[in-house]
């Protein structure tokens, strides 16, 4: 029987996966290391560092435009809660799970589609 943690993806030995950053940050293609202590799993993304409401109170549309400069995406009030500053630093998240996955490739964010 496999135990699956919420917010985690499979990282079985040799298995490829993708770990996305925020709408303005890079994403990673990874290969699982099969670490049994993590139930052969890893994080599914950068993860929020502040709630959606807190992000809307803390940031402006000007901040959203600045943080997503160079990325083709919506830059309106409807996605302000998705601002990159509301998320953990994806590079720090990846460094923290170095025993779980091997980075195969880094992807530069150029397009982000939010519903």
105 given a catalytic annotation: no
Extract the tokens encoding 22: 């925020």
Extract the tokens encoding 61: 């549309």
Maximum distance among all alpha carbons in the chain?
Answer: 49
Q: Which of 12, 44, 56, 74 is catalytic?
A: 44
Q: What contacts 91, CB < 8 A, 6 or more positions away?
A: 26
The catalytic site residues sit at: 44
């Amino acid at each position: 029987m496999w135990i699956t943690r919420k917010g985690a993806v499979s990282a079985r030995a040799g298995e490829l996966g993708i770990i996305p950053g925020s709408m303005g940050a890079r994403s990673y293609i990874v290969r699982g290391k099969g670490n049994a202590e993590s139930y052969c799993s890893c994080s599914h993304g950068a993860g929020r560092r502040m709630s959606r409401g807190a992000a809307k109170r803390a940031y402006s549309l000007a901040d959203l435009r600045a943080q997503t400069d160079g990325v083709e995406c919506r830059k309106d009030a409807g996605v302000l809660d998705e601002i990159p500053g509301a998320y953990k630093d994806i590079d720090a998240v990846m460094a923290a799970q170095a025993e779980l996955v091997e980075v195969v490739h880094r992807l530069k964010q150029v397009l982000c589609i939010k519903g």
